[in-house]
Amino acid sequence: MKIRDPTAADARAVAEVHVRSWQAAYRGLMPDDFLDSLSVEDREREWRAWLASPPPREGGLVAEEDGKVLGFVRFGPSRDEGGRQDAGEVYAIYVVPEAFRTGTGRELFARASRMLRERGFTEATLWVLEANERARHFYEAAGWRPDGAVSTERMDCLRMPTVRYRTELG
């Protein structure tokens, strides 16, 4: 497996990972009609726009094997209102269902944490659907802990409860 920076040529593959992963990971946690309506084309447009002009201090990585993108992670400055200037955030991390429990996500997550630290962040946060026990276990196994913050403001999570996890980076 190879971990590398994403390129514009990866936009479609990353969008496919994004949609397939959501449909697998959130089935039973989110409404089926919502999951079935997710659009690879919409995600591809989002990825193309981001890859063409990523905001300052944001980054991303893809994991690939035999030329096939298996997963991705995106990260950058914390988007939390009133957050510390030295706080980073993991915005998204997803792998294709067949790469669940293979170490692909673990490696992407570890590299993203290192890159956040290298960019000067001393702590990092992420938001996860409260009901997503598999993801919460993944983050806790990596040493992240919930910090008590709960939100229903995340549109991508259909305003369902999300919890914030936090870790020190340095």
Rounded to 10°, the helix 11-25/40-52 angle is 130
d(CA 112, CA 107): 9
Confidence (pLDDT) at 155: 66
d(CA 72, CA 94): 6
* DSSP state string for 14-36: HHHHHHHHHHHHSBTTB-HHHHH
Confidence of residue 153 (pLDDT cuts 50, 70, 90): confident
Q: Which of 70, 71, 87 is nearest to 79 (CA)?
A: 87
Q: What is the mean pLDDT of residues 142-167?
A: 89
d(CA 145, CA 125): 9
pLDDT tens sequence across 46-95: 999 999 999 989 999 999 999 999 999 999 999 998 778 899 999 999 99
Q: What angle do CA 88, 89, 94 make, to 5 degrees?
A: 145
d(CA 71, CA 112): 13
Six-digit token string for 151: 């939100």
Q: Which residues are 128's β-sheet partners?
A: 163
pLDDT tens sequence across 90-139: 999 999 999 999 999 999 999 999 999 999 999 999 999 999 999 999 99
pLDDT tens sequence across 13-31: 999 999 999 999 999 999 9
Average pLDDT, the chain: 94
Q: What are the structural domain ranges in the chain? A: 2-121
**pLDDT over 90 for what percent of the chain?**
88
Confidence (pLDDT) at 82: 79
- DSSP summary character for residue 87: E
Q: What is the mean pLDDT of residues 159-169?
A: 94
Kindly report the backbone phi and psi dihedral angles of residue 57, in degrees, each rounded to the nearest multiple of 5, phi listed first: 70, 5
Confidence of residue 154 (pLDDT cuts 50, 70, 90): confident
Q: pTM for this structure?
A: 0.94
Classify domain 2-121 at the CATH superfamily level: Gcn5-related N-acetyltransferase (GNAT) (3.40.630.30)
Confidence (pLDDT) at 81: 84
> Is 70 exceeded by the pLDDT of residue 143?
yes
Confidence (pLDDT) at 24: 94
